[in-house]
């Protein structure tokens, strides 16, 4: 039996692992399907203090640091959690293996919210993408849409502007209220980025007889845009579907620490009422780990 089972290998989970392992607690991280979570898809981190590099490089650094203190990391996703602090928790992995622990730290993060319009599911992976850094290369010299108006959307647009011929940002509001000023200024300064405000996407369909797989995207104000790809950045939903229904969640599926069973803790983007940033993920990862260690020491 492990002292601590940490679910998620993003900055929150890896920070928790560092702290619990350094406290000499037998720690395993069930890291999901890839290291780093959303952080791994950031090409250049500019707002995490003390780091100048990619998100994936930071994830590798955090992983190696946690492992150096004895944390074990497996790339397995949780299917469900049963048990309690008194008798021990059991996490069923998607590899069919059961993991037993005296405590659990939930740090499974969030996933991009899916676009629910006609054609969005049909063309997913064939023109519709939720990861600019993953798929941007395939649209070099092409025309793409970025849907959204927050930091993620503007970062995606700036990244794609270095690859694509034209980037059209479609946003339902009159200006980028939520995005940081520095990002708004950079977008305004790029000649190949066009902003379409006060509109949204209505449907996506294939352009007839297009040999290059172009799409026709219809907006809510009646425009028909011929593009090669659509990148969606309209927010996130917490990855908590594996938890039982009795654990209370907010409208985004996130968890408040005070509603969790004894012996369970939460960190990172799955934590309610925090800003979704790497710095806050690291902070809540530290807090969850320290609370977890205090809990274990009292048993």
Active-site positions read: 131, 134-135
Q: How many degrees, rounded to 5, is the angle at CA 143 between CA 140 and CA 149? A: 105
Cα–Cα dist 105/119, whole Å: 38
DSSP characters over 86-134: TTEEEEEETTS-EEEES-EEE---EEEPPP-SBTTTTTBTTTEES-HHH
Decide: 182 and 192 in contact? Cβ < 8 Å: no
């Amino acid at each position: 039996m492990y002292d601590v089972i940490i679910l998620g290998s993003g900055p929150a989970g890896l920070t928790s692992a560092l702290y619990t392992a350094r406290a000499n607690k037998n720690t395993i991280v069930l890291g999901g399907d890839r290291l780093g979570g959303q952080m791994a898809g950031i090409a250049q981190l500019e707002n995490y203090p003390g780091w100048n590099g990619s998100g994936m490089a930071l994830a590798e650094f955090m992983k190696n640091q946690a492992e150096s203190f004895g944390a074990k990391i497996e790339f397995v996703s949780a299917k469900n959690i049963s048990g309690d602090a008194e008798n021990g928790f059991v996490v069923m992995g998607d590899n069919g293996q059961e993991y037993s622990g005296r405590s659990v730290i939930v740090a499974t993060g969030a996933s991009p919210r899916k676009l629910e319009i006609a054609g969005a599911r049909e063309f997913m992976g064939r023109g519709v993408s939720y990861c600019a850094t993953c798929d941007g290369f395939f649209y070099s010299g092409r025309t793409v849409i970025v849907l959204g108006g927050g930091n993620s959307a503007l970062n995606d647009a700036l990244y794609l502007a270095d690859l694509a011929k034209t980037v059209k940002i479609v946003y339902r509001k009159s200006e980028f209220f939520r995005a940081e000023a520095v990002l708004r200024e950079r977008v305004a300064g790029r000649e190949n980025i066009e902003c379409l405000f006060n509109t949204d996407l209505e449907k996506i369909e294939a352009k007839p007889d297009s040999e290059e797989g172009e799409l026709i995207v219809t907006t809510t104000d009646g425009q028909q845009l011929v593009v090669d790809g659509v990148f969606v950045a309209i927010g996130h939903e917490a990855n908590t579907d594996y938890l039982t229904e009795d654990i209370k969640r907010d409208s985004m599926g996130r968890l408040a620490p005070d509603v969790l069973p004894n012996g369970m803790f939460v960190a990172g983007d799955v934590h309610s009422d925090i800003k979704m940033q790497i710095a806050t993920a690291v902070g809540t990862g530290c807090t969850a780990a320290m609370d977890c260690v205090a809990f274990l020491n009292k048993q």
